[in-house]
Structure 1
C-alpha cells in the first residue's frame, strides 16, 4: 500500500492520514507525545482540589473572630460538630460539618501570588532550574491506569499561571488537560476536538485509524526510543478520549436539570459537577478553580458573593459523592495560596497574609468532624498545632495511599521526594 521510509516525519504522517487529530495534538496532548507514559495500576483513589484563586480571606470563611476589631461584620454559623463554627454565608456546608475537617493553623512565608501558588501546588518554593511537578501530576503518576480513556490530571477553569504548573520533571504526559476558560465563562466546559468530523463516514474513519496504527508500528520498529513510544501512547490516548463513552463524561447535558441547578449555574458550580463525573470514571486528580479572592478592597461584599458560589458547589459535591458511595475514596481539599490580613485596611479590604490561615478538607477516608489547630484571638498568629504547606501536601498524598517519601528523578540529576523531607504528616487527619 505505502512504502514508508524512516525519514518520514510525524507531521507528514498526521497529514497523510487526514484523521483530523491536529487540533487534539495541541496543548497537553502535543506535549504528551514527547515522553512515554507508564504507570502502575493502583487502588481507586481520587483527589479534588477546590482552588480559591487569589488567596481567600479564611478568617471570613473557616476561622471567624466575632467580637474582635479584626473580625468584620460576618457572624458565625453553628455546625453539628462542637467547636466548629464557620461563616454564616456557608449555610449548606455548616449543615455538613461532620463531613468537614478544618485546619486553622496553616502558615507559610510566601506572600507573593506566584511563589505562594508554586508552593501550594508543588510543596516546594521555586528553586533555580528545578522544574517541580504539581501535586496533581505527582498523584496522577502514581494512580494512573495505563488503559484509562480519560486523562489522569484535569484542571477546570484554571488561570494561565496555574496551568503552567504541570508535569514538571515527571514529563509532559502528566500535564493537565485544561477545561474551561475563566475569561470566557460563556464558552462553558466543552473539550475541543472530541467530536468526530461529520464529513468523514464511520467506515472511512475506521480505515484511517487502522492505517495510522500500522504506520505507528512501523515507525516504532525503526525508531526504538522513548519519544517514539510516547507518540504511540499519545495517539492511543487521543483516540480513547474521542470514544463516545469517554467524550460523554464531559457532556453535562446528561445530568438532570435539578442536579445542575443544585451545583449552581456558573463555571465553578458546573466545574464541581464535572469533577464528580470525572472521579466516577476513575480520574485520579481534578482541580476546580474559583477566581476572585484577591480582595484588597471591598472584601466583605466580594467574599459574601463568592461564599454563596462556594457553598452551593462544595456542599453539593460532598452530598453527591456520598450518595454515590464515592466520598470515602475521594479527598476534597479547599484552599488558596495564602490567607488575608486579619486587620482590615482603609478600603474595607484585606491584604496578603501567609502567617495564619485555614484549609478545609472532606472525604477521602480522613477523620472529619473536627477542627485542628488554633489562631490567636486577633487572628494574627498560630498559637496551637502549627502546620506548614509541605505537611499538608504529605498528608494529602498519604491519604491517597501514596508514600510521600517516594523519590522521583528530576531534571537536574538528583532525586526529589514527593513531599519535602521536612514535612510532618497531620496525624489528626489520618
Structure 2
C-alpha cells in the first residue's frame, strides 16, 4: 500500500466513516488502495474444460439464427447480457463475469490447442514451456509453503501431457494432481454419495506406525544429504525440495484442506456430487489456506471426453452445463461469503470452441476461429461481454483477441503486470505472455 494511503490512515478513515452518516466518501479510496497493495495475496483458479466447450450453447448464443440450436437464452442480472438457460446460477452472478466473446486462435487439434491455451505458446521448438498453473505459482507463491503452490483437480491429460507440466521451471512448481480423471481408480465414493478426492501417499502405509515412519525418514535424510550436498542446483536439488515439501505436508495441519468431509453436507450438495463440483469446493478450501493456483477440470462425462460433442451435442451440453453451473456458481458465492472473491481471479476456458453450424449428427465440431472464454472475480470488471461475433457466429467482428492477450489480461488482474517473465535454466527471461492487456475488463 502506498505511503499516501497507509494502514494508519486507513484505520482512521474507517473509524471516522463508521461514526458518520455515510462512508461513501472514503470507501472508493480504500478499495482502490487495497487493490493496488503490492503485498496483497492474490490467487487464481483455472476452470479447464477439456474437449472444447460450445460457446453458442453457453455464453454467446444465437437464438434468432439456424445455428442457434435447441437452447433458450435467459436474461442475466446485467441488462442486455444473456446466457444459456442451463446456467442460471452464473446468470445471477453475471455482474462478476467478463465474457470474452472475441477469442480467436488457429489450433483446431485437441493436442495442439491444449498446449497453446495452457502455455500461451505453440507446441514447437526446443523449449518446454510451463503450463499456466506452474507459471503463476512461480510468480505468486510464498517462499515457504506447506501446501503445494499448484494443485490440479480432476485432470484429463490424454490430449497432451506436456501441456500440464512445469516445463523448464522444474518439479517444484509442478501440479499436485488430485482425482485425475485419466488415472483409473484415482476417484472412489466416500460412502455419503460424494466422490472421494484424496491425495495419494498423504497418509502412512498400512502397518507403518509413527516411530517406524520416523526411522525411515532419518535413513532417507541421511542418504539424501550426502547425495544432494554436491548437487544443490538442477534436478537433484529440485527433487529433494519436492520430497521435503511432501514430508512437511504429511505432518501438517494444512493437509486438512483436502478433507471435504469437514464441510456441511448442504454446501457439498450445492456444489454437486461430482468431481468438478467437489473440486470447486476443494479449490475454495485451498485458496483459503493460501494456495496461489488451483485448477479444476470438467474433463469427462458418461459419453466421452468432456465438451468434445461431435454428436448429440445438446443432451451432453445440458448435462455439462448443469455440472458447471452448480460448481462454478456455488464457488463464486462461497468465495464471496469467505471474503476471498476480490483476491481470487477465475479463468474459464478450453482448448477451442465449437462450430456454430450443427453437423448431421446433431453435434458441433472443432472451431478455433471465434469462441469464448470468461474472466471473473478479483481484478475483473464484471457485468459485461467484450468482443462480438457475427450473426451466424462464424467470425469475430469486434474485440478480437488471442491467447496471449487473454493471459496478459489475466496476469494484470492478478497484479503481475501484462508481461511477467519466468527465468529459464540458462538464465534467459521468458515472458508468460506478451499480448495486449484488455484494459476494459480490468477493475
TM-score using structure 1 length: 0.85
| Inter-partner Cα distance in structure 2 for 1:222 and 1:138 | 28
Q: Which is worse superposed, 87-96 or 190-199? A: 190-199
- Deviations along 1:319-366, whole A, 9 cap, x unmatched? 000000000111111111111111111111111111111112211221
Is it true that 1:147 corresponds to 2:144 in the alignment?
Answer: yes
Q: Is the 8 A contact 1:43 1:143 kept in 2?
A: no
Q: Is the 8 A contact 1:295 1:350 kept in 2?
A: yes
Tell me the matched-pair count: 388
Judged with a 3 Å threshold, the aligned counterparts in structure 2 of structure 1 residues 216 and 61 are, in CA distance, closer, same or farther, namely same
* Residue pairs, 1:41-60, within 5 angstroms: 43-60=40-57
Judged with a 3 Å threshold, the aligned counterparts in structure 2 of structure 1 residues 406 and 314 are, in CA distance, closer, same or farther, namely closer
Partner of 1:320: 334
Judged with a 3 Å threshold, the aligned counterparts in structure 2 of structure 1 residues 339 and 224 are, in CA distance, closer, same or farther, namely closer
Is it true that 1:370 corresponds to 2:384 in the alignment?
Answer: yes
TM-superposed deviation, 1:383: 0.9
Q: Is the 8 A contact 1:83 1:371 kept in 2?
A: no
TM-score using structure 2 length: 0.82
Is it true that 1:91 corresponds to 2:88 in the alignment?
Answer: yes
Q: Is the 8 A contact 2:418 2:437 kept in 1?
A: no
Partner of 1:18: none
| Inter-partner Cα distance in structure 1 for 2:198 and 2:422 | 34
| Inter-partner Cα distance in structure 2 for 1:118 and 1:227 | 23
- Deviations along 1:221-259, whole A, 9 cap, x unmatched? 455544554354223201111124122111111111111
- Deviations along 1:201-230, whole A, 9 cap, x unmatched? 434444554565455445544555445543
Which of 185, 197, 206 aligns to 1:189? It is 197
TM-superposed deviation, 1:386: 0.9
Judged with a 3 Å threshold, the aligned counterparts in structure 2 of structure 1 residues 129 and 223 are, in CA distance, closer, same or farther, namely closer
Partner of 1:290: 298
Judged with a 3 Å threshold, the aligned counterparts in structure 2 of structure 1 residues 285 and 343 are, in CA distance, closer, same or farther, namely same
Judged with a 3 Å threshold, the aligned counterparts in structure 2 of structure 1 residues 80 and 344 are, in CA distance, closer, same or farther, namely same
Q: Which is worse superposed, 229-238 or 206-215? A: 206-215
Is it true that 1:359 corresponds to 2:373 in the alignment?
Answer: yes
Partner of 2:396: 382
Judged with a 3 Å threshold, the aligned counterparts in structure 2 of structure 1 residues 112 and 411 are, in CA distance, closer, same or farther, namely farther
| Inter-partner Cα distance in structure 2 for 1:411 and 1:112 | 30
Q: Is the 8 A contact 2:171 2:242 kept in 1?
A: no
Q: Is the 8 A contact 1:102 1:361 kept in 2?
A: yes
Judged with a 3 Å threshold, the aligned counterparts in structure 2 of structure 1 residues 241 and 224 are, in CA distance, closer, same or farther, namely closer
SS at match of 1:164: helix
Partner of 1:425: 437
Which of 158, 162, 165 aligns to 1:164? It is 162
Q: Which runs of 5+ in 2 are unaligned?
A: 1-37, 189-195, 300-305
